[in-house]
């Protein structure tokens, strides 16, 4: 059995989804923890310090490449899985009651993933692109991104960047909150689903995994959602 064969079956494809999903889940913990440092209310000093560390450390650069590769794998394989699964039922039912046997979000991973992806495009444009290609000290003014119109001010750090993006700007806040809501439902199913995919289903452990998945999804998403909201109302200084 070649690797291509191993990862190419109906189960192998799900191994890719689960493994990359686990990686993304771990990444979100780190990402969320660092961003939460804006709540120290120290003008973003702690946050900027760690954001800079994440952006300049060699090991983390390698990990960042890995993150993009895994995200891309997750997306490409996700699309393949959805296409293959749709093809398995070319003729649908005239009458169907799926809510009697499964949750809507477990059936909507493709849609939720697509919403997350749309959000990610905006998100990378807001923060990752200028921090990589504009340099932290000299971030491209947001007006040049042409996504939204802002006062044309120079941002000197990511904290200021966040303030610039969100303070008093409703549109990006709404987009971020909707993105995070999509992420919540994606994670609520995905977290426990990935364990099942790798063969872990057990009377004692599965309820713990499901509870942990719920707590993880809720905490991560509440924290992420609170950031643009706090910035919008200028609660963090």
Partner 1 sequence: MEHYHMNLTLKVWRQKDSKAKGNLETYQVKDVSSEMSILEVFDVLNESLINDGKEPIAFDHDCREGICGACSMYINGQPHGPWAKTTTCQLHMRAFKDGDTIVVEPWRSRAFPVIKDLVVDRSAFDRIIQAGGYISVNTGNAVDANSIPVDKRYADAAFDAAACIGCGACVAACKNGSAMLFVGAKVSQLALLPQGEPERETRALNMVAQMDKEGFGSCSNTYACEAECPKGISVAYIAKLNSEYLHAGLNDSDS
Residue ranges that bind ligand HEM, judged by CB under 6 A: 14, 17-18, 21, 24-25, 28, 74-75, 78, 81-82, 109-110, 113-114, 116-117, 186-187, 190-191, 193-194, 197
Residue with tokens 């491209």: 140
Q: At what angle do helices 10-35 and 170-197 cross, to 10 degrees?
A: 130
Using CA atoms, how far apart are residues 212 and 26, in angstroms rounded to an integer?
14
DSSP state of 100: G
CB-side exposure of 165: number of CA atoms within 13 Å?
27
Q: Which of residues 109-128 bind partner 1 (CB under 8 A)?
A: 109
Of 173, 152, 161, give the one whose Cα is nearest residue 134: 161
End-to-end CA distance of the chain: 57
What tokens appear for 135 in the block? 């340099």
* Selected binder of partner 1 within 32, 36, 79, 81 (CB under 8 A): 81
> Minimum distance between the CB of residue 165 and ligand HEM, rounded to whole angstroms?
19
Residue 21 binds which entry of partner 1, ligand HEM, none, CB below 5-8 Å type-dependent: ligand HEM
Shortest distance, position 45 Cβ to partner 1, whole Å? 43
Q: Measure the CA–CA gap between 119 and 217, rounded to whole angstroms.
A: 17
For partner 1, the binding residue among 84, 135, 144, 168 (CB under 8 A) is 84
Identify the CA nearest to 137 among candidates 51, 60, 65, 58: 51
Among the listed residues 58, 137, 152, 199, the single contact to partner 1 using CB under 8 A: 199
- 139 φ/ψ angles, rounded to the nearest 5 degrees: -75, 140
Q: Which of 126, 161, 186, 189 binds partner 1 (CB under 8 A)?
A: 189
User: According to the binding rule CB under 8 A, does residue 58 interact with partner 1?
Assistant: no
Which partner, ligand HEM, partner 1, none, binds residue 92 by CB below 5 to 8 Å per kind?
partner 1
Query: Toward partner 1, which CB reaches closer, 13 or 74?
Result: 13
> Using CA atoms, how far apart are residues 132 and 139, in angstroms rounded to an integer?
9
Looking at the Cβ atoms of 72 and 229, the one nearer to ligand HEM is 72
Q: What residues make contact with partner 1 under the rule CB under 8 A?
A: 1-2, 6, 9-15, 81, 84-85, 87-98, 100-103, 106-107, 109, 189, 192-193, 196-202
């Amino acid at each position: 059995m070649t690797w291509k064969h191993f990862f190419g079956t109906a189960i192998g494809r799900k191994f890719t989804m689960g493994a990359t999903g686990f990686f993304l889940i771990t990444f979100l913990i780190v990402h969320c923890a660092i961003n939460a440092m804006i709540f120290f209310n120290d003008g973003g000093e702690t946050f900027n310090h760690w954001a800079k560390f994440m952006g300049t450390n060699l090991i983390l650069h390698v990990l960042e490449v890995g993150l993009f590769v895994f995200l891309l794998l997750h997306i490409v394989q996700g699309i393949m899985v959805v296409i293959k699964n749709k093809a398995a039922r070319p003729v649908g039912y005239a009458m169907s009651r799926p809510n009697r046997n499964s949750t809507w979000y477990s059936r909507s991973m493709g849609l939720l993933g697509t919403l997350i992806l749309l959000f990610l495009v905006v998100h990378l444009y807001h923060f990752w692109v200028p921090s990589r290609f504009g340099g932290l000290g000299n971030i491209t003014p947001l007006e040049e991104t042409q996504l939204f119109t802002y006062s044309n001010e120079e941002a000197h750090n990511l904290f200021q960047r966040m303030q610039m993006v969100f303070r008093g700007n409703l549109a990006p806040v709404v987009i971020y909150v909707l993105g995070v809501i999509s992420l919540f439902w994606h994670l609520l199913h995905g977290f426990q689903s990935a364990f099942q995919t790798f063969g872990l289903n057990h009377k004692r452990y599965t309820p713990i995994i499901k509870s942990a998945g719920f707590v993880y999804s809720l905490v991560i998403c509440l924290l992420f959602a609170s950031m643009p909201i706090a910035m919008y109302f200028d609660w963090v200084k």
